[in-house]
Structure 1
Amino acid sequence: MRIPAILDIEASGFGRGSYPIEVGVAMPDGTVVSYLIAPHPDWTHWSDEAERLHGLSRELLLEKGFAPRQVAEQLNVLLEGQTVYSDGWGVDSSWLALLFYYAGCRQAFQLDTLTRILADEQLAVWDKTRDDLFAAHDGRRHRAGHDARILQQTYIDTHGLLRKAQRQQR
């Protein structure tokens, strides 16, 4: 089985005006990297509701976050030439594009939707498997690195269920 790299992004809010505040990647070898992103001066939107979900304050990001360019460059070094997958491609691709735009550099990897590599049988058990894994980890959610790792483990577990079902059909 080929284990995919999974990317997850946390943001300042939902919808228009929101921007990336944390990006996490679970690599095929199980390594997880995560970067807090300091808001660019043009990024002013902030949602208290989103903050309650991810637990990251704007002040923390300003104090401990990396500049968009630093994060973009690190992602390019880590992921160059690869295809990385996201379960929230619609929003994650927009936030990633915004990050690279403000970083002033080209994205050296592709982001694709996770559903592209899932079999129908995996999709059928995806939500339950993912929710069980989150529950086994104290129900924690909405931190990019942790979520990326749980999604990657969900892929591994659902792939194993698919292989088991295929063996039973023989």
Structure 2
Amino acid sequence: MTLPTLLDIEASGFGRGSYPIEIGLARADGSCCAFLVQPLEEWTHWDPKAELLHGISRARLKREGLPVAQVARWINDELSEVGVAYSDSWGYDNTWLSLLFHHAGMLPAFRLEALRILLDERQLDMWHRTREALVTELGIHRHRAGEDARLLQLTYQRTRQLAGCG
């Protein structure tokens, strides 16, 4: 079974003024990677509750984050051949991705689609149970973009197997 490429984004918070702080990918071969995004001067929104979830401080982003244009180039390099990546939070992730590419002065060379379009009813019924079982089994640290993207991919794979889809 070929695995779909999954994209996950951690952000400064939700809603107006929020922006991407970490972008992670799980590639079709199962490998994953993630990059911290250096916030622009005008990106000031910061929700302490979001920081409690992902554990990434604004100071760390300024210190270790990559410039917006570099992250946008990296994503395009990774995804232009694949053509499409999937997200379980399409509404948020697409908004943050658009913001990133806008400020980089670039256009994405791929489409971001909702993961939901790949799932049948049987997979949807068992999705949350399966995901939580994998978190426990594999000791996955939630709310980091690379690990969350890989968790989505593994959940997709396991629900397909359990549903008898391959």
TM-score (norm 1): 0.94
1:140 is displaced (CA, Å) by: 2.1
Look up the match of 1:16.
16
Look up the match of 1:74.
74
Look up the match of 2:98.
97
1:2 is displaced (CA, Å) by: 2.5
SS at match of 1:132: helix
* Structure 2 counterpart of 1:131, one-letter code: E
Matches of 2:97 and 2:151 in 1, distance apart? 20
User: Can you list the C-alpha shifts for 1:40-95, whole angstroms capped at 9, x where unaligned?
Assistant: 11100001100000000000000000011000000000100411000000100000
Q: Percent identity?
A: 48
Matched, 1:51 2:57: no
Matches of 1:44 and 1:74 in 2, distance apart? 24
1:138 is displaced (CA, Å) by: 3.3
Matched, 1:116 2:130: no
Deviates more, 1:80-89 or 1:47-56: 80-89
Count of aligned pairs: 165
Look up the match of 2:149.
148
Matches of 2:24 and 2:114 in 1, distance apart? 16
Look up the match of 1:36.
36
Deviates more, 1:139-148 or 1:89-98: 139-148
- Which ranges in structure 1 are unaligned for 5 or more consecutive residues? none
Matches of 2:77 and 2:14 in 1, distance apart? 29
SS at match of 1:74: helix
1:139 is displaced (CA, Å) by: 5.6
* Structure 2 counterpart of 1:27, one-letter code: R
TM-score (norm 2): 0.96
Matches of 2:17 and 2:138 in 1, distance apart? 32
Q: For 1:119-134, what aligned pairs fall within 5 Å after superposition?
A: 119-134=120-135
* Structure 1 counterpart of 2:68, one-letter code: P
In the TM superposition, structure 1's runs of 4+ consecutive aligned residues that sit over 3 Å from their partners are none
- Which ranges in structure 2 are unaligned for 5 or more consecutive residues? none
Q: Give the root-mean-square deviation of aligned CA atoms.
A: 1.3
Matches of 1:18 and 1:121 in 2, distance apart? 34
